[in-house]
Amino acid sequence: MTPRLLAPLIMLGMVLAGGTVGYVIIEGWNAWDAFYMTATTVATVGYREVHPLSFAGQAFTLALVLVGVSTALYTFSAFATVVVEGGWSGYLDHWRYTRMINGLSEHYVICGYGRIGSIVATEFKRQKTPYVIVDRSAERVRAAEALGHPAMEGDASREETLKRLGIDRARGLVAVVGTDAENVFAVLTARVMNGGLFIIARAEGEESLQKLKKAGADRVISPYRIGAMQIAQTALRPAVVDFVEIATSSDNLELSIKEIHIESDSPLAGRPLSAAMPREKLNVVVVGIQHAQGQMEFNPLPETLLNAGDQLIVLGSSATLKELERAAR
């Protein structure tokens, strides 16, 4: 409810309640008759009196007309002002987005909708990954919403903002706001609120890499370094770069590369790789295993034992990988 409508509605409710109680006390009517008389009097519809009124009841009715009619007119004018100025549609939009955000779970919070944040949001949308954007600029929020992105205006470094975004239910946070200092505050606040959150942060300067890691970021990405490495790899190994782009692109339906997380109660946990996912049946390639302890094992042997918490880097068709994800859970 908008603040401009809340006060008039409270006043109108008090008038209706006061009128009902007054008729019950003065005339001894039951609650329904008293409320009906109050409502018709305030609305000035001109119906007859429910019961004959005493002199005290008539005086009370006159007072109720003066107070109630003015209050009803004030409420109606406030409502009309909100509708004419577009505030009602804004309230409905806010309610819709609030309801949508409250329904999110295992989502990503994207802090900042600049050049990098917009690309991240577009890719999440293409991959059908749940996410929500937060930015301090109302103009950027409107631009994001115009493209179909769920977005909210707010400061990502404030606890109340992250709480509204469901940070306790989120899967991860992407900190790509304007400056490294803002990213540090956003990462630190998110880490304090959710210790298990997977946090990725952007760093502009080399000196900020360690600061962001100390603040709680799991991964710190330097766009300049990544861009330079991409250019170098494209010059030296263009075929390898093309293959990786094809495997990781959401447009490719024939081939995909994904992370498969082995849950603690997964039927794949405790089984050797050859038994858990036989290649002759699934037609997938296990590129590597990131074990729960953190070490990465490339091209694992068939007898390698899968444990809860392991991450499998698997290459195969999208349909097969989706089945494998379901099996891993």
Tens digits of per-residue pLDDT, 68-94?
888 888 888 877 776 666 555 556 666
Residues of the chain under the 70 pLDDT cut: 1-4, 46, 82-95, 97, 247-254, 279-281
Q: What is the pLDDT of residue 111?
A: 96
Q: What is the pLDDT of residue 86?
A: 55
Eight-state DSSP code of residue 304:
P
Q: What is the pLDDT of residue 193?
A: 94
Query: To 10 degrees, what angle do helices 55-84 and 87-102 make?
Result: 80
Q: What is the pLDDT of residue 52?
A: 87
Is the CATH code 3.60.21.10 the one for domain 3-85? no
Q: What is the pLDDT of residue 90?
A: 59
By C-alpha distance, which of 66, 70, 85 is closest to 4? 85
Q: What is the pLDDT of residue 78?
A: 77
By C-alpha distance, which of 162, 56, 163 is closest to 174? 162
Cα distance between residue 145 and residue 147, in whole Å: 5
Q: What is the pLDDT of residues 251-267, one digit of tens each?
A: 655 677 788 888 888 88
Domain extent listing, the chain:
3-85, 105-226, 253-328
Q: What is the pLDDT of residue 25?
A: 92
Query: Which two tokens mark 236?
Result: 């030296």
Cα distance between residue 104 and residue 171, in whole Å: 10
Q: Do domains 105-226 and 253-328 have the same CATH topology?
A: no
Instruction: Provide the CATH topology of domain 253-328.
Output: Alpha-Beta Plaits (3.30.70)
- Predicted TM-score (pTM) of the model is 0.62
Q: What is the pLDDT of residue 174?
A: 96
Tell me which residue has tokens 């002002």: 81
- From the number of C-beta atoms within 10 Å of its C-beta (0-12, 13-18, 19+), residue 206 rates as exposed
Residue 197: its H or E element? none
Contact 289/312 with Cβ under 8 angstroms? yes
Superfamily of domain 105-226: NAD(P)-binding Rossmann-like Domain (3.40.50.720)
Q: What three-state secondary structure class fits 300?
A: coil
